[in-house]
Amino acid sequence: MPEENPTLTFNHWKTGEQVTYTLSSGGGASTGEQLLERLHCPYDQTPLVLIRFVYGETDVRCPNCNTHYPSRSTQKEIDLYATVNINRRKQEAERLRAQAGQLEDFVKFAESAFAQTSPSRTETSQDPARARIIRGIAGTD
Ligand SMILES: [Zn+2]
């Protein structure tokens, strides 16, 4: 019988729901995950997981909130990193908000190009092959 992978149970940082996380035994670029019982995520108190990769690199992350931490850190360093990380995440959220605003502006602009459309743009083609292509592009097939 194959050996079962170790699991970790915690309450999800956002929903509070109980989650059972199964440590990976590898796949793709990863050669597996190992529980770091002496280190925990300062945000949600979940034990951290060490991920080993095929070329020897490692990564430490929280299986709950998915925050990545520097490898080979002490708990004190993890705590310090976590405080700096809040600002970094805040800046990233601001950047993504600005990007989303830009995208929404473009969508409005692009839609306006079709608002006063001449009939020829929405007209279905008389040629059946061409009509099929137009329906395909419009996603109405
Ligand atoms: Zn966490």
- Over the chain (141 residues), the average pLDDT of each successive run of 10 is 83 97 92 94 97 93 96 95 96 98 96 76 65 75 60
Residue 81 CB contacts under 8 Å (≥ 6 apart), including other chains: 69, 70, 73
Q: Are 80 and 70 in contact (CB under 8 A)?
A: no
Residue 69 CB contacts under 8 Å (≥ 6 apart), including other chains: 39, 41, 48, 60, 61, 62, 78, 81, 82
Measured distance between the N- and C-terminal CA atoms of the chain, rounded to whole angstroms: 50
The pLDDT assigned to 141 comes to 60
Q: How many residues does the chain have?
A: 141
Alpha-carbon gap, residue 141 to 133, rounded angstroms: 9
Measured in Å, residue 82 CA sits from the centre of ligand 1 at 9
3-state DSSP assignment of residue 41:
coil
Measured in Å, residue 63 CA sits from the centre of ligand 1 at 7
Measured in Å, residue 10 CA sits from the centre of ligand 1 at 10
The pLDDT assigned to 64 comes to 98
Measured in Å, residue 12 CA sits from the centre of ligand 1 at 9
Q: Which two tokens stand for residue 25?
A: 């035994």
Q: Which two tokens stand for residue 70?
A: 């520097």
- Edge to edge, the sheet with strand 47-53 lists 30-40, 47-53, 58-61, 68-69
Q: Is the dihedral of CA 44, 68, 73, 30 positive or negative?
A: positive
Measured in Å, residue 24 CA sits from the centre of ligand 1 at 18
Measured in Å, residue 115 CA sits from the centre of ligand 1 at 47
Measured in Å, residue 138 CA sits from the centre of ligand 1 at 43
Q: Which two tokens stand for residue 132?
A: 């099929």
